[in-house]
Structures are given as C-alpha cells and as structure tokens.
Amino acid sequence: MNILEIKDLEIPGVKVIKFGKFRDDRGYFMEPFRKSDVLNYKELRSMYNLDVCQTNQSYSKKNVVRGLHFQWNPYMGKLIRTINGSMIDFFLDIRKNSPTLGKIIGYELTADENSDYEEWIWLPVGLAHGNMYLKNTTIEYFCSGEYSPKFETGISILSKDIDWSLCDDKIKKKLDSMIKDGSVIMSDKDKNARDLTDWINSKEFTDFDYNDLKSRNLC
C-alpha cells in the first residue's frame, strides 16, 4: 500500500488516506490496503486494531442520497472508497462530549482511472455515515464490525438540527438544490429517520462517549 498522504478533516478522527498507483504503458497496479503499512503511521492509530470482518459494495444511481447510518454492539468503523463514479461522503459526529458533536462534513471521492492515486476515507466509531451520488457510482467499504440490524439506527440528513457550519457551502447547496427541485432519490426509511436531538436524548447516546472511545483508540 503506497501511502502518499494522510489528511485530517475538521471532525476529529476522520482521515483521508491518499495511496499511489504503479503505472506503466499497460495500465496500473495498486494495493488498496495493507495492514502492515497502516501500522507505520501513528496518525492512523485508531486503525491499528482494525479487524476487517465485513466488506460491502454498493451501486447507486445519480441523485441518490443514503444515510445517515450507524450502529453499536458491535461498533462499526468504516474505510470507504469510490470504485467508479463520483460521490460526496457525509459524516455526522454523534459522540457525546466531542468538540464537533452535531456537526456534519461532506467530502468528494471521485474515481479516475487516469489519476496516479486514489483515496480512502476512514470513519472511526461514533460517526453517522451517508452518501450523495453525483453520477452512477460504485463504492466499497471495509467494516470493523458485522452488520447488526437490532442495534443500528439512522439520523435523517434532512434533520433541521444538524450543524452544517463546517461543511463546504457548495456541497450543502447541491444537496439543497436536489431537495428543492425534487430530483433527490431517498428511501422512506432515510427520509423519516430520527433527528439529531432524538439521538442525543436516547440511552444509547452514552455508549458513544468521545473521551472513552478515544482512550480505547476507537476514534
């Protein structure tokens, strides 16, 4: 895994990992992931104990919006990349005592076969995750916990109490435009998911204490 750069985003623990391709006149080869390389970077310590026990692949049409999803018992961190197409990856901080609790960010991940690199986003435990697709797109993600339907929930990206102040204004305007003109494609489950305040008032909220998760290298 030819790691070129590790970038911190505005929400603590979220990392963008840029990794290189080996190109020649035939095409390219790359290692998207190698655990031993991750262990060489202290910035990735929340991935040191990453046990990839489930991988997911998702195809979505242009204008689809998914999420924001998360679970506990077991916790699930996610390592996400775009295989082809283009998407905005959204992540909302849902961690008690986090300095960015309630804030959301979007980051664009676009696959380009002519590029010399690709990117992962690492979302540690304590973030609600969703996507907005700018074209027909396939993504994959590695999960640190198996899907547990009895212990998963979501916060609607339409929730009025989400704080968008850290998010690129162009991304928020794109989402708002899709909602306004009716082009957005969302499941009823995601549209009608709980709001942020309801989550903060739930008993499960205490299971996502930022200081506790950080002390356990989970974020």
CA distances from 101 to 149, 153, 155, 162, 188 (A): 24, 17, 13, 9, 26
- Residue 69 phi, psi dihedral angles, 5° rounding: -115, 150
**86, amino acid identity:** S
Catalytic (active site) residue 48: no
Catalytic (active site) residue 133: no
Six-digit token string for 149: 């339907």
Six-digit token string for 191: 């549209």
Produce one character per residue of 135-150: b if its CB has 16 or more CB atoms within 10 Å, e if not. Answer: eebebebbbbbeeeee
- Residue 79 phi, psi dihedral angles, 5° rounding: -115, 115
* Annotated catalytic residue within 41, 69, 147, 210: 69
* Annotated catalytic residue within 107, 133, 141, 210: 141
Just list the catalytic residues: 69, 141
